[in-house]
Chains A and B, each alone.
Chain A
Amino acid sequence: MTALIEVRDLLVRREKQTVLEIAHLSVEAGEVLAVVGPNGAGKSTLFLTLARLLKHERGVIRFFNGHESISTLEYRRRIALVLQEPLLLDASVRENAAIGLRFRGTPKAEADRRVAHWLERLGVAHLAERSARKLSGGESQRVSLARAFVLEPELLLLDEPFTALDSPTRARLLEDLKAVLGETGTTTIFITHDLREAEKLGTRMAVMLKGRVHQVGKPREVFAHPADSQVAEFLGMQM
């Protein structure tokens, strides 16, 4: 296995407060790393830092096997991210799904092919011409996922994408996403505060508490052998 992303000695401060301090964290190619923790644990800060949307004060983040010199724009064009809110533009579903490809200057025929495939795969092809403003929460998040997958990213970052959805919708979407990730083998970092989601989707799990990674391991191992009392307490609170 090769580390697609490796974080060492990372420090992020916001308004003079340390919000993230990670000694080491790596994500192997093809794995789904579920990052769990309570609200305020620094998960979203980690997400933004990994997406190069937030600057870190100290530390090294090696992307794509050590190619650190890659420009921010080039880096962002090799990843894709899905946020908690779908944040679709006031345009049709098809246009929304294609926007990342348009930013990359992908030829129209290729963009159309990929958009059609991913809208179909995520079950929203019938909505292609509909205004994104007229979608339900679940449909919007499916379009948001399609918009990410059409980019065929080397790294997919998901920040609590199911939080705003009702329980049945969330369950169906989680099931579909698991299948898609299995098919594509896309390396994924999945931020969530929901341990069930983490267990279902993650091949490994990182527990974050107060800005630090306390434990990384296979979900079953983490649940069976919490690294310390704080992790045990967090897992106990949730399960």
Chain B
Amino acid sequence: MTDLLPITLLSLQVSILATLISLLIGLPLGTMLALGKFPGRSFLLSLINTGMALPPVVVGLFVAMSLWRSGPLGDLRLIYTPAAIIIAQTIIAAPVVTGLTAAALQQLNPRLRLQLYGLGASRVQMVLSLWREARLPLLAALMAGFGSVISEVGASMMVGGNIKGQTRVLTTAIVLETGKGEFERAIALSIFLLTITFLVNWALTVIQQRGRP
């Protein structure tokens, strides 16, 4: 069990980074989809909503094909590296964060925007105020994004390769140990995975619920 700590740390590192990148993509994109008026908006929203249900193995397949030595991005030599897992997980989490961000902002009273503008808000101040107002569902979006990647195994296995000491994360290690019949190790890893998932979500929930009546 000496390798448990590096596996756990890598899992956390990869999934937190993928979630943060998804947030950087999803928050502005979701905001644009919720507040903007442009041709193709509904179509884009449908695509994002479909993307929320993207099977990780399908993402894994396309990322693996792209990063494969002979693939279009093969020269980057990223296949079977933690970076490849981050890319795949970002593709999985970004639609989740984007879709839930759009839904969170669309739930706000549309006249609130008029009121904020009427109070002298610039466009940036208006958006920041709406984000603050929707902070509870936005944090839920962040939690859902993190949950979708910390628990996925297919893409991590396909693009990371489950290489010991390099790309082995908790989920791929659980698959490996179960395959070997090492159920005790698999259970220990599962408990670890559940614990860190709980701790991260607990921290986010505390932030989310702070100041609530």
A residues near B, CB below 8 A?
48, 51, 53, 73, 76-77, 79-81, 83, 85, 87, 89-91, 99-100, 103-104, 131, 133-134, 147, 151, 157
- Inter-subunit contact A147/B133 (CB<8 Å): no
- Inter-subunit contact B132/A89 (CB<8 Å): yes
- Inter-subunit contact A103/B119 (CB<8 Å): yes
| Chain B residues within 8 Å of A131, by CB | 213
Given pairs A73-B120, A91-B132, A147-B119, 4 additional interface contacts (CB within 8 A): A81-B119, A83-B111, A89-B129, A103-B120
Closest residue of A by beta carbon distance from B129: A89
| Chain B residues within 8 Å of A48, by CB | 114
- Inter-subunit contact B120/A87 (CB<8 Å): no
| Chain A residues within 8 Å of B112, by CB | 87
Instruction: Report the minimum CB–CB distance from A189 to chain B (whole Å).
Output: 13
- Inter-subunit contact A76/B109 (CB<8 Å): no
A73–B109 CA distance with the chains assembled, in angstroms: 22
Chain B at the A interface: mostly helix, strand, loop or mixed?
Answer: helix
Q: 16 A–B contact pairs at CB < 8 A?
A: A53-B118, A73-B120, A76-B117, A76-B118, A76-B120, A77-B120, A81-B118, A81-B119, A83-B111, A83-B114, A87-B115, A89-B132, A99-B119, A100-B119, A103-B121, A134-B213
Check if B122 is an interface residue, CB within 8 A of chain A.
yes
Closest residue of A by beta carbon distance from B125: A103
- State which size class the interface on B falls in: 10 to 19
| Chain B residues within 8 Å of A85, by CB | 109, 111
Tell me the B76-111 residues at the A interface (CB within 8 Å).
Answer: 109, 111
| Chain A residues within 8 Å of B213, by CB | 131, 133-134
| Chain A residues within 8 Å of B120, by CB | 73, 76-77, 100, 103-104, 151
Closest residue of A by beta carbon distance from B123: A73
* From A80, A90, A103, contact of B133 by CB (8 A): A90
A-B Cβ contacts below 8 A, count: 53
Chain A at the B interface: mostly helix, strand, loop or mixed?
Answer: mixed
Instruction: Report the minimum CB–CB distance from A50 to chain B (whole Å).
Output: 11
| 8 cross-chain pairs, A with B, having the tightest CB-CB distances, nearest first | A81-B118, A100-B119, A77-B120, A87-B115, A103-B120, A103-B121, A76-B120, A103-B125
| Given A53-B118, A76-B117, also A87-B129 (CB < 8 A) | no
- Inter-subunit contact A51/B133 (CB<8 Å): no
Instruction: Report the minimum CB–CB distance from A61 to chain B (whole Å).
Output: 16
Instruction: Report the minimum CB–CB distance from B63 to chain A (whole Å).
Output: 39
| Chain B residues within 8 Å of A157, by CB | 118
A67–B153 CA distance with the chains assembled, in angstroms: 63
- Inter-subunit contact A99/B129 (CB<8 Å): yes
- Inter-subunit contact A53/B117 (CB<8 Å): yes
A133–B211 CA distance with the chains assembled, in angstroms: 12
Which among B109, B121, B125, B213 has the highest number of chain A CB atoms within 10 Å? B121
* From A73, A99, A134, contact of B122 by CB (8 A): A73
Instruction: Report the minimum CB–CB distance from A136 to chain B (whole Å).
Output: 16
| Chain B residues within 8 Å of A76, by CB | 117-120
| Chain A residues within 8 Å of B121, by CB | 103
- Inter-subunit contact B115/A103 (CB<8 Å): no
Instruction: Report the minimum CB–CB distance from A57 to chain B (whole Å).
Output: 18
Instruction: Report the minimum CB–CB distance from A112 to chain B (whole Å).
Output: 18
| Chain A residues within 8 Å of B119, by CB | 76, 80-81, 99-100, 103, 147, 151
